[in-house]
């Protein structure tokens, strides 16, 4: 490369005119005007932050994915040429993998250096079958990162054979761009994306045999940086989303653990690192023990194969022309960016003579960020040169490219920025097909030209202009059996049911904490609190402390000023309200593939707003800040009610909604028992009836039952009627019996009549009635009520034991415990 090289303009034809396929788009852009286009760019950023790739856990901005309003256009002829070249490269990669994991003739013929294979961490020895008995392909999906040079030719900078990531990002770019800037799509003939996805889905399903079960996308879980892609692809391709812990092996076959039992899986669409799929053979703690053996036995297909990332090695690009002639008998139709492997002879000295003219990468790590020597300081270049001289075989050098430029919306109008393009290929069972679009990135000096897909990027939708004579066709001849009608929750994976269950519990825990906080703040703000109100404050502070909303040292403070500071601290401390909010957010994110788009958008937006509101609470412990905190508790209660309403209106009865509701009922039931025990368990309650009365009034308030009690019994407060409303009234939605009856009815949907789980609920309901009757028949109701805390503790523990049995049976799939620790505190904080 010389400094005089000028980058090519994607939009211009070199004669001062726009290329023909760009002209309709430019007309639409000029009709919008610069200010409108800039505003649409802002709306695009907002849409991605609120509902797209950037919309992750509240308050976090670890992903900042943006889409420029101006797409990158490819003519039909140019796309066809790229598709042909990429199809040839994909087939070449398949043949190389077949050899390297088979007879390894290419190394014996000195066409591939052994250092690029045996020294490559992506080379997985358990995937080798030297006898060539492997009966299926290594690659079904392939992608390539490309740049257009100054001569107008596209060249491949990196091959993506491991997971070929990024197609979901391209889909999301198209979806949101079409919604925010629909004017650009008018009068345009663009290849649609959805027919291609149908081809991909059919091809994936066709990989399985008739009796091998369904297909599933194998993910590392919501902590994976590409979790968004996993969720979207599983939805678009109508396949399950599973993690390693969801799968188990029986007789060499792979099964998904569901509430109904084990469900056969025949195809795994791999979206996790290949060296992490089998914890037995690959020493990975997150894999499925024995999975590679099941693949070798032909009981399950994995696409792409676990060891397919081997040929992503940058150093391999130096040998591809010769390999194409050897394996295909053809020259490469789509060349790589000129690359040298530095382990050969004096090649390293050739590169070091003009280090600034090269792009440097580790020879075997296709995911590593390339080093651009011209951007380094003199000292950094010297250090890099020393490392290359010390280990030349560990490095590959590509001629530093000059990427082409494309228009992007900037602060002052349209700016020209360098462009990198990733295209995607799928083998449909007969031939390789290209995704009719792609993922383009507008590059700054800090952006990597290759390597792993960045978390922060300015991307562009890629339009392939339609050729009216072409038509996307699906895979023909794929016969699927007639599907039986199903209306049960049994096919829900155990992990998903567990996540819904804990989402329900954490939502209820957040609501409970908000009610307690509001009650405390209301009393603090009263100018002259009475003795009874001060007593109520002490009880409420104890309840907040038991929920870990207050630290132990804060729960014993004296004085309203110190108490105000302690209460406000719970909205900022990591162990307080933000902790529970983070638990809710984490469960929502793990369930992203199970929530409707509307429900996910509303919930995540609300979570983010609540998190921001907590962080923005003023530090001063004064009346104004307390009022803001009180208003925040109201917003939390409204959020909980919104989630309940969305679940009722947007989720199918059964399945995820069933366990969401069950989790809420179990958490609320435990909270009522524990709360009532705490308000009654006061020093001197046996000899001071006023303390019992104070506790009962507070319990009615926290259960939103004051108005109902007054309607029934006017202003006379007696223990038995109050306890009946809180504990035994099956019609009070804030009462304990209501929760137990609801939990029992939910259990009926997944267990048969007479099941021990159903039978375990009946004694709990009977105990609520017995407590009320015992107090009612007592000659001194106040004294009998004061003696209830130990009985309520055992009731709390018994409710927890039912939840534990459900978890063991349906979530962890363990046998029911033979004994229950009724004398220990229930573990309400465990997840």
**Residue 675 in 3-state DSSP?**
helix
The closest alpha carbon to 626, from 567, 578, 550, 579, belongs to 567
**Strand ranges of the sheet holding 395-399, from the earlier edge strand across to the other edge:** 339-341, 395-399, 358-362
The closest alpha carbon to 69, from 170, 167, 171, 184, belongs to 184
Tokens representing 135 are: 């009966």
End-to-end CA distance of the chain: 58
CB 139 within 8 A of CB 304: yes
Output the pLDDT for position 54: 54
Q: pLDDT band at 472, cuts 50/70/90?
A: very low
Helix (H) or strand (E) holding 604: helix 597-615
Which residues does 777 contact at the CB level (< 8 Å), separation at least 6? none
pLDDT at 56 over 80: no
Question: ∠ at Cα 276 (271, 279), nearest 5°?
Answer: 135
Q: Which of 219-233, 245-259, 753-767 has the lowest mean pLDDT?
A: 219-233
Tokens representing 624 are: 């104004």
Tokens representing 633 are: 């508790």
Question: Measured between alpha carbons, how far is 825 from 814 in angstroms, rounded to an integer?
Answer: 22
Q: Which of 556-560, 765-769, 799-803, 822-826 has the lowest mean pLDDT?
A: 822-826
CB 267 within 8 A of CB 207: yes
CB 511 within 8 A of CB 638: no
Q: Torsions phi, psi of 489, nearest 5?
A: -95, 5
**Residue 58 in 3-state DSSP?**
coil
- Give the pTM: 0.79
* Residue pointed to by tokens 């025990």: 677
Question: ∠ at Cα 767 (761, 768), nearest 5°?
Answer: 95
Question: Measured between alpha carbons, how far is 576 from 570 in angstroms, rounded to an integer?
Answer: 5
Which residues does 539 contact at the CB level (< 8 Å), separation at least 6? 678, 679, 682, 694, 695, 698
159-213 pLDDT, tens digit each: 999 988 889 889 999 999 999 999 999 888 899 988 888 888 888 878 876 566 7
Longest Cα–Cα distance of the chain, Å, equals 103
**Of how many residues is the chain composed?**
831
pLDDT at 252 over 80: yes
527-542 pLDDT, tens digit each: 777 777 788 888 888 8
Task: Indicate if the alpha-carbon torsion angle 303, 305, 309, 312 is positive or negative.
Answer: negative
CB 256 within 8 A of CB 217: no
Average pLDDT over residues 599-612: 87
H, E, C per residue of 706-725: HHHHHHHHCCCCCHHHHHHH
DSSP state at residue 246: G
Strands 395-399 and 154-160: unpaired
Average pLDDT over residues 438-455: 74
The closest alpha carbon to 525, from 625, 652, 443, belongs to 625
The closest alpha carbon to 305, from 273, 281, 266, 265, belongs to 273
Cβ atoms within 10 A of the Cβ of 18, count? Answer: 15
Q: Torsions phi, psi of 403, nearest 5?
A: -65, 155
For residues 585 and 812, which has the higher predicted lDDT (pLDDT)?
Answer: 585
267-317 pLDDT, tens digit each: 999 999 999 999 888 876 678 999 999 998 889 999 999 999 999 999 999
304-345 pLDDT, tens digit each: 999 999 999 999 999 999 999 999 999 999 999 999 999 988
CB 143 within 8 A of CB 164: yes
Q: Quote the mean pLDDT of the chain.
A: 85
The closest alpha carbon to 122, from 89, 163, 87, belongs to 163
Kindly state the percentage of the chain with pLDDT values over 90: 47
Q: Torsions phi, psi of 686, nearest 5?
A: -70, -30
Q: Which of 443-466 are b and which e, b meaning 16 or more Cβ less than 10 Å from the residue's Cβ?
A: beeebbbbbebbeebbbbbbbbbb
* Residue pointed to by tokens 């799939």: 813
């Amino acid at each position: 490369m010389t400094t005089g090289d000028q980058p090519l303009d994607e939009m211009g034809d070199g004669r001062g005119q726009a290329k023909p396929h760009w002209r309709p788009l430019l007309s639409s852009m000029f009709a919008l005007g610069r200010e409108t286009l800039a505003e649409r760019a802002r709306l695009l950023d907002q849409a991605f932050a609120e509902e797209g790739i950037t919309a992750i856990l509240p308050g976090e901005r670890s992903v900042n994915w943006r889409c420029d309003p101006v797409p990158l256009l490819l003519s039909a002829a140019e796309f066809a040429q790229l598709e042909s070249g990429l199809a040839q490269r994909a087939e070449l990669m398949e043949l190389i993998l077949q050899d390297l994991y088979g007879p390894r003739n290419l190394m014996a013929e000195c066409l591939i250096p052994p250092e690029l294979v045996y020294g490559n961490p992506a080379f997985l020895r358990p995937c080798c079958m030297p006898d060539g008995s492997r009966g299926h392909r290594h690659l079904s999906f392939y992608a390539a990162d490309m740049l257009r040079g100054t001569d107008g030719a596209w060249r491949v900078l990196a091959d993506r054979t491991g997971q070929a990531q990024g197609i979901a990002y391209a889909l999301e770019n198209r979806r949101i761009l079409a919604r925010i800037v629909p004017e650009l799509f008018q009068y345009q003939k663009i290849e649609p994306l959805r027919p291609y996805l149908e081809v991909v889905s059919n091809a994936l399903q066709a990989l399985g045999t008739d009796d091998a079960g369904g297909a599933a996308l194998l993910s590392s879980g919501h902590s994976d940086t590409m979790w968004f892609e996993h969720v979207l692809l599983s939805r678009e391709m109508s396949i399950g989303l599973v993690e390693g812990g969801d799968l188990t092996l029986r007789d060499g076959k792979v099964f998904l653990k569901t509430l109904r039992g084990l469900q056969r899986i025949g195809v795994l669409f791999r979206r996790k690192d290949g060296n992490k799929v089998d914890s037995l053979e690959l020493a990975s703690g997150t894999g499925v023990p024995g999975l590679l053996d099941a693949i070798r036995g032909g009981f399950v297909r994995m696409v792409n194969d676990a060891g397919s990332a081997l040929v992503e090695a940058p150093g391999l690009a130096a040998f591809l022309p010769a390999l194409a002639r050897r394996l295909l008998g053809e020259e490469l139709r789509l060349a790589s960016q000129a690359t040298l492997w530095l382990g050969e002879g004096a090649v390293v000295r050739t590169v070091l003579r003009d280090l600034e003219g090269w792009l440097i990468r580790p020879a075997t790590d296709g995911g590593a960020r390339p080093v651009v020597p011209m951007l380094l300081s003199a000292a950094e270049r010297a250090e890099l040169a020393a490392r290359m001289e010390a280990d030349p075989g560990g490095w590959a050098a590509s001629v530093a490219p000059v990427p082409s430029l494309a228009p992007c919306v900037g602060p002052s109008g349209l700016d020209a920025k360098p462009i990198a393009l990733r295209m995607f290929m799928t083998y449909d069972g007969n031939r390789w097909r290209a995704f009719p679009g792609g993922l383009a990135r507008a590059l700054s000096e800090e952006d990597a030209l290759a390597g792993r897909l960045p978390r922060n990027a300015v991307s562009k939708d890629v339009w392939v202009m339609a050729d009216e004579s072409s038509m996307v066709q699906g895979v023909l001849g794929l016969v699927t059996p007639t599907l039986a009608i199903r209306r049960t929750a049994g096919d829900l994976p155990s992990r998903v049911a567990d996540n819904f269950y804990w989402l329900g519990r954490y939502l209820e825990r957040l609501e409970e904490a908000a009610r307690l906080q509001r009650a405390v703040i209301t009393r603090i703000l009263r100018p002259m609190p009475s003795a009874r109100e001060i007593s109520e404050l002490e009880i409420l502070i104890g309840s907040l402390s038991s929920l870990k909303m207050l630290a132990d040292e804060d729960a014993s403070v004296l004085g309203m000023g110190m108490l105000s500071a302690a209460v406000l601290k719970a909205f900022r401390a990591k162990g307080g309200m933000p902790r529970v909010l983070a638990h809710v957010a984490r469960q929502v994110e793990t369930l992203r593939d199970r929530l409707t788009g509307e429900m996910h958008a509303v919930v995540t937006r609300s979570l983010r707003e609540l998190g921001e509101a907590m962080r923005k609470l003023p530090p001063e412990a004064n009346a104004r800040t307390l009022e803001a905190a009180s208003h925040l508790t109201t917003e939390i209660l409204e959020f909980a009610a919104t989630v309940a309403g969305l679940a009722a209106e947007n989720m199918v009865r059964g399945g995820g909604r069933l366990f969401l509701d069950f989790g809420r009922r179990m958490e609320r039931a435990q909270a009522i028992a524990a709360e009532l025990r705490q308000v009654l368990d006061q020093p001197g309650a046996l000899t001071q009836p006023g303390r019992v009365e104070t506790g009962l009034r507070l319990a009615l308030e926290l259960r939103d039952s004051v108005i109902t009690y007054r309607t029934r019994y006017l202003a006379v407060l007696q223990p038995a009627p109050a306890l009946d409303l809180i504990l035994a009234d099956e019609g009070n939605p804030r009462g304990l019996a209501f929760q137990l009856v609801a939990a029992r009815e939910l259990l009926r949907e997944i267990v048969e009549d007479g099941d021990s789980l159903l039978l375990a609920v009946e004694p709990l309901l009977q105990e609520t009635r017995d407590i009320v009757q015992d107090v009612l028949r007592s000659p001194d109701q106040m004294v009998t009520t004061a003696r209830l805390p130990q009985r309520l503790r055992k009731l709390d523990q018994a409710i927890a034991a039912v939840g534990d049995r459900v978890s063991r049976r349906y979530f962890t799939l363990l046998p029911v415990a033979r004994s229950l620790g009724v004398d220990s505190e229930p573990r309400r904080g465990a997840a």
